[in-house]
Structure formats: structure tokens, C-alpha cells
Structure 1
């Protein structure tokens, strides 16, 4: 059964509506899924005209009314924005609407009407101006779902990486790593891949220090103190996990197919290898949300400077949709 992928429009003053329309011109998306835009139909119609797409924008209020047919873009129409919303400007209306689109997507996911959420970019300043004080999508989704234990995962065609820590300084990141966090993230990785239909996925954990400490030669025993107990706990539950491995060779091994997922200890350790493989192919994923909700996102911002000009590149959106399809639970009825 094809998963229904809810695609939130993001900040409508940015490139989100354009890249959504461009991405949904690809018949492969419809062959593998049922895409459903969650946003504002008149804004999507404006984007359709800008990109010159010969498709129908189909406003709906219930998922059961969707056509899910290539050549028609179904839009759960929240009707929150003026048709003449200016491009490239911070707007409280657009910020509030971006939040409402996410809120609706969570409601649909919790009801089982959609199997994954794929988000176009929002603007943090507009979001705050609209009355929603969150750093970004991840924190909104965690709040709306009542989730405390979650992680950022990055994916490209050759490599999947999940993080123990992300947007903190390096010294703080090492302080934050502990056996329980290691165990939790390994378990999240395992659950995400198995829910997506992968049997016995292989997970590898990076070391914190060069050469994963090399038996105490580098560092102060951080691997043995912070990583190994969590890895061993996961192993005792039957999870196929190994490490800590030297990070300088682990990503190469994973990219050639030795492992299904790498656990990175801090932001740049995980982000660097993914971005070297190509920004247009990288996708940001939130895993661990309550209810097993999967959220993928484009790996770029609202691009206010080019909004409305029909020059935005839809490849990251296509990849985000592809990963949402890949990771969507395979046991829906």
C-alpha cells in the first residue's frame, strides 16, 4: 500500500510552494506514494502559475477526498493567507500559517491519515513574529507530540547518520554524551529502520576521540565511559550494533555498504560526510517522535531572495519526499 506523505508548505513567502509544485510534477512520486500538500490552495495555485506547471490544484478538507493522481496536486486547504502575500518578506501571517500547517500534519499523522511528514522550510523570525517561539520544526514537532527523546538523522543515497548531540559547542557536546543517551539513540536508529521494513539493520557508533581513543592513547577514556555501556545495553536487547569505531574510516565503510546507519557523536562529525556527498542530496530527518511519526525536510532555507522567480531547485524536496517514502511505516492498513 502506498504511504500518504503529508507535505507542509512552510513559509509561503519563500520558495516552499514553488519547490513543492515542481517536485510533484515528477510521476515517480505518485508511483511510490500518495502526496498530500498541507497548506493554502490559493498560494499553491500562485506557485503553479509562476513555474508554468500544467497541473490542477485540488483543494480538499478531508484526506478521503484526495485524488492522488499525477497531474493533480491535492491540497489540504487551511485558507490562512492573502493571495497577494509578498515574496521574500518576514510576515507574522506567514509565520503563523507555517505553524498551523505543521500542527495539521501532526493531527493527520496521529489519526493515521498520513504515514510521514515532509516539510518545506520555515523562517524562524516570521515564526516568532506569528507568536510561536520555537527554534524550528524539530522543537515544534516534539512539543506537539509530547516527545522528549528524539534525534536528528541525516540521509543521502549512500549514507544515513543519526546524532547523539547536534546544535551545541563541542565541549558541551562531549559533556552531554552518556551511556543512556547512547543507548537511546541506537535504539531510535534501530526502531526507525525496522519500522521502515529493514530486517536486522546494522548500526555503527563513532568514537569521540581520534581512532576511537585507541585503547586509551587519545582522550581520557570517553569511549569506555560514555559509549560502550550504552552499546552493550543495546546489544543485550538483540540490536545489531557495533563500535566505537574510528570516525575517519567509519563513514567510508558505511558509504560502501558495510553498515545501514552511523551514530555520530556531535554535529560536524555527522554533518560533514553527508554534505560532502552533495547538499542537494542531503535530507534532515526527525526520529523518535511519539507515535512513530517520521518527519523529513529539505536541507535548505526559505531563500527569500529568489522566491517567486521560478529559479528554486526542487531536488532537495524530491529527495526529502523519497526518504519519507522509504522510512514511512510499512505496516499501515
Structure 2
């Protein structure tokens, strides 16, 4: 990414979900994390969210409209700076899926991705969008990751396959990177192939080397129970995963495994919050739920989603739109705050 911008854009997420309110809460409650950040979204939506969070007789947290990302530094403290990047969405009902809400959320991400690729902003933090609403709006992507991958490929003038990306979920105790992301379990198993596993190890090594300042210790989970038990419970470990690990090690990547999936995450977990005290710095998991359940069990409120492999920095909170509590002021902004802190760290790495 070219340019010298240090501003971080927070996309507002689905306006019918909790995105706008956790964004306001983050600015209100975590000024250190939101310093130098602004919202790429809709001014009226953020003002409604701010008003909904105000207690009886309390003024709403101020929302200030800015004309460009460069104006962030001049915005007075104790307010939410918003850059109007979309047409104001109409007829949004909290907690209801709609194409209008999906279009607003998706268009904010497209704007932020293009701004980051042009070097106009330092990083993107994406508030949650709803995949069904995104689809209803006509976006041909199952989520943020694939949309950002497509935007990066278009910017680079290459095919999507030439911009391989991976999802990393991280909190204070554990990091995990996924070989496959949004697909059925049946297709995820079929996606465990030599090239995909090796590519995941390469992407993980490159990304975390920048963050840690050294080669990460990568633990690799098997696909089958007991990592196949020598072929008794499946051959993927012996025929696919182990050869990919060997190839990675030949390139100088500190990968180890395949290990039993039911124990490798415990071995990687940082003990007593001491970073680096686990046996591994990160675990490469073979599919979505295998890797995400351990991280989310340790605490969704501190989890951060990071997209690895993009020519831009993108993080997000480790939760969805929570339509069941949207508009009630009950949503916890902790994960968004951690995503902002992670984006700042990655942006300066």
C-alpha cells in the first residue's frame, strides 16, 4: 500500500444490526483506541445509533460529519467523525434483513477497500454485515473476506486466485488461521489439498513474521480425530498435510504437526495471559469451525478477525450483526475496540 496516511476507516456494518451502536460506543468509551479513526458510512445512521444509546435526559454522543479522511486530525475530541460515503439508506428497521441494508454495508466496504488500496487510509476495521442481506443486495460474495479479495485483485489487475487470502482469528490467548473459510463442511474437507495447506502456511509465516519480528511457531491441526491415528481414521494427514508441512519446513517455515485437533489448541494457548508462553504462536486449522470454536470459547468479546494476504490491513470484531439485540443499546463494543488496536499494530508493522 502506498501513501503515508495514518487514518483508520471503520465501516459502519449493516445499519439494521449492532454495527452503528458498537462504533459509537467505541468512540465514547475507548478514546485511545479510536484516536485517528473515522467512520465510513452514513451520518444519519450513526446519529440514530448515538441517540439510541443516550440515557433518559442525557444528550446523544456528538457525531461530526467530515469531508475527507484528512480532516480526522482536526476533529475535536469526544465525538464520532463520519465520512458520508454512501447514499443514505432508507426504511431500515433494526433487526430486519433487507437488501437496502445489505447494499449500504457492502458499499461502505467497497469504498474503504479502494481508499486503502490507493493509500488514502492506513487500515480498515469492518463492523459486522449480514451475509444474507449482502446477497440480497446483489453482491456475489459470501462475506467481507471474499469481497476484499476481489477488490484487491481488481486493483492489482490480476485474477482473484492470484490474491490468496486467509482468515486469522486472534485473542489474548490464541491465534488460529484457517485453510478454508466459508463453505459447507463437505466442501471444506475436499478443500484440504497439498497446495492449499502449503499456501496457508506460507501466508501465516509471512504475516506473523511482520507482527512478531521473528518466524512464528506454527502448530498444524490434523483433519481427522487423533490426526488420523496413522491412517486408521483417514489418510489426509499422511498423504496431504504432513507432506505440505515438510515442504514448508524446507522453505524455513517453523511448522509442526499434524497434531490431534482436540489438543493442539490447548498446547498453543498462552498461559496466564503471558504472550508467547504457549508451545505455538498460531495454529493452522483445516476448516472454519475447527479453528473458530476454540478462539470464540475463550471469549468473543476479545476476539479479532484479521484477513491475511491482502495488500491492505483489515481487521474486524469476532461476532455478527446480532439482530436480536440491535437498537437496544446492549451490544458489547470490546471486540471492535480490540480490532482497532490490532489494526493500528498491523498498520505500523
TM-score by length of 2: 0.84
State the partner residue of 1:102. 109
Give the Å deviation of 1:56. Answer: 3.3
How far apart, in 1, do the equivalents of 2:24 and 2:60 lie?
10
- Is 1:13 the counterpart of 2:16? The answer is yes
Residues 126-145 of structure 1 mapped to structure 2, 5 A cutoff? 126-145=133-152
Residues 158-237 of structure 1 mapped to structure 2, 5 A cutoff? 158-214=173-229, 216=230, 218-237=232-251
Residues 278-289 of structure 1 mapped to structure 2, 5 A cutoff? 278-289=299-310
Structure 2: gaps of 5 or more residues: 154-159, 271-277
RMSD (Å), alpha carbons: 2.4
Deviates more, 1:146-155 or 1:170-179: 170-179
- Is 1:277 the counterpart of 2:298? The answer is yes
How far apart, in 1, do the equivalents of 2:210 and 2:262 lie?
29
Aligned residues of 1:212 and 1:244 also touching (Cα < 8 A) = yes
State the partner residue of 2:339. 320
TM-score by length of 1: 0.88
Give the Å deviation of 1:83. Answer: 7.5
Give the Å deviation of 1:197. Answer: 4.8
- Is 1:76 the counterpart of 2:83? The answer is yes
Q: 1:121 to 1:188 in 2, by over 3 A?
A: same
How far apart, in 2, do the equivalents of 1:74 and 1:108 lie?
17
Q: What is the SS of the residue equivalent to 2:149? A: helix
Q: 1:88 to 1:124 in 2, by over 3 A?
A: same
Residues 256-275 of structure 1 mapped to structure 2, 5 A cutoff? 256=270, 257-275=278-296
Give the Å deviation of 1:217. Answer: 5.1
Structure 1: gaps of 5 or more residues: none
How far apart, in 1, do the equivalents of 2:60 and 2:93 lie?
24
Aligned residues of 1:195 and 1:329 also touching (Cα < 8 A) = no
State the partner residue of 1:38. 40
Aligned residues of 1:90 and 1:125 also touching (Cα < 8 A) = yes
Give the Å deviation of 1:205. Answer: 0.8
Aligned residues of 1:192 and 1:327 also touching (Cα < 8 A) = no
Give the Å deviation of 1:248. Answer: 2.5
State the partner residue of 2:25. 22
**How many residues end up aligned between the 2 structures?**
325
Give the Å deviation of 1:36. Answer: 1.9
